[in-house]
Amino acid sequence: MGLRPNLLTRRTAGVASTTLALLLSTAAVGVVPTASAFSAAPSDACVEPADVHTDARIKAGGHAKHEPNELTSAQVREREADLAAALRERANFRPGAGATPVASVTIPVVVHVIQRDSTRAGGNIPDSMITQQISVLNEAYAGATGGAATAFGFQLQRINRVTNPAWYPIVQGSSAERSMKTTLREGGKNTLNIYLGELSDDLLGWATFPQKKLNSMDGVVVLSESLPGGTATNYNQGDTGTHEVGHWLNLYHTFQGGCTGSGDGVGDTPAEASPAFQCPTGRDTCTATGLDPITNFMDYTYDSCMYQFTPGQASRMLTAWNAYRAA
């Protein structure tokens, strides 16, 4: 699978015609809150609060002090067992006693812009970048960029601007991050909270996976300059947000588990031994059928290379929504 020329044209034209930028997504792992993100290099374990595990997307060429690991096989088993249990619990609800499964979802979004001061360099990005990020999410999840249509749409509810040097930059796994989210998070399990700002350790973003009980850490953290029209070269078309929201909706990376086992738990994403960077057309790292899914939003390639979710991923996200986040 290679980059389709019309995709790059669409995105380039979109950024040139507006100064808007994009939102992020994300996810958490296990029965305890966990987080997931993009990384541009193999990662080592990081020290973080006891109830948080993260893997993170790192800027190309970056050397993060904390490069979080991919999920271990044990963590994946734990997450999958938890999902199965949540689905069983839902199936056992008496008619009228529990939530009704949904087929389409409009997700309310609250965006928190964390600033050091009132300057652009200090994190004060324009509202237009945020509204464009929402547009990028809606296009990606509707299949408008060339992938499968999913059940999800996004509606911006509020932009909350906070000037607090103690939270800037946002340091992944820190007590300051916990303080920020505990203070600012709004809404229930169905509300996507996005935190924008400068990030620590060359990270582009991270997110939490869904879980049965809402935790204040739930949400997505994204580098503000990765929004459409931002200054993060090769990562400034909004797909860090797209990727992280995928984790928040329970998707793993396409390279989860490598060439063996159940991989990312989705049957129509070809197995991939390791993350793909830049846009390596024709890459094939596993003997199983299919080239590496380098154009999938859940790989690590440049924004210009990504354009799709698969039908299997769309199904997995909706299943998890009904298990964890539906009212």
The residues annotated with a catalytic role in the active site are 244
Quote the Cα angle for 7-58-14, to 5°.
25
Query: Which residues of 147-257 form beta strands (DSSP E)?
Result: 152-163, 192-197, 203-208, 220-223
Provide the 10 A C-beta neighbour count for residue 288. 12
Question: Could you give the 3-state DSSP secondary structure of residue 204?
Answer: strand
Q: What interhelical angle do 73-91 and 311-320 show, nearest 10?
A: 60
d(CA 279, CA 98) in angstroms, rounded, equals 45
Q: 229: buried, middle or exposed (CB in 10 Å: 19+, 13-18, 0-12)?
A: buried
298-318 exposure pattern, b = at least 16 Cβ within 10 A, e = fewer: bbbbbbbbbbbbbebbbbbbb
Q: Are strands 57-58 and 220-223 parallel, antiparallel or unpaired?
A: unpaired
- HSE, CB side, 13 Å, CA atoms: give it for residue 85: 10
d(CA 68, CA 205) in angstroms, rounded, equals 12
What are the residues facing 162 on neighbouring strands?
Answer: 114
* Amino acid letter, 162: V
Tokens of 228: 């459409």
